[in-house]
Amino acid sequence: MAEPKRIAFLVAEEGIEQIELTDPWQHVEKAGGVPRLLAPKLGTVQGYNHLTPADTFQVDVPFSEAVDSDYDALVIPGGVANSDALRLDADAVRIVQEHVAAGKPVAAICHGPWLLVEADVVRGKMLTSYPSLATDIRNAGGSWDDLEVQVCVANGWTLVTSRNPGDLEAFNTSALKAFGLA
């Protein structure tokens, strides 16, 4: 019997759009995968329902201790503050770069692609995201379209992106397929 797929969820300490963390997490678990929460440091992180604080979540692994070979795929939830903090975290950027260099799938929703832009991995890729990221994605060499979900297989790895929580059904379906869980 094969080992279950291990899926890393990368988040900052706060500002995480909670549904963009919890809904994909539950789908990964239901499909037999093992989700792990990675953040800047151990402790808890704060989810939000838009601008309203919601639940807290226990961190499994701090970014500084994360080893790419421990994970089969990455999920980057959105939230403006979450995504802005992630792109300024050198360890989060390193994790994405190592993961992409290894040719492993990544799924990012809403503002999550900001981390991909910072990691300089969107060149030649087709993405969707929250509309305010379109110019950043294009300036980083990617292409952008306003779609419910975009699956791009290019440059040796698979990228799944979506615009917002309203796209979670399509996002989860496509991400699980890319992760080999569907």
152 classed as catalytic: no
Q: State the burial class of residue 42 (Cβ atoms within 10 Å of its Cβ: 0-12, 13-18, 19+).
A: exposed
**Separation CA 57–CA 83 (nearest Å):** 17
- Judge contact between 56 and 45, C-beta under 8 A: yes
Q: Identify the active-site residue in 107, 110, 122, 160.
A: 110
Reading the block at residue 128, the tokens are 């969707």
* DSSP per-residue codes, 48-80: EETTEEEEEEE-SEEGGG--GGG-SEEEE---H
* Rg (the chain; Cα; Å): 14
Residues with a known catalytic role: 110
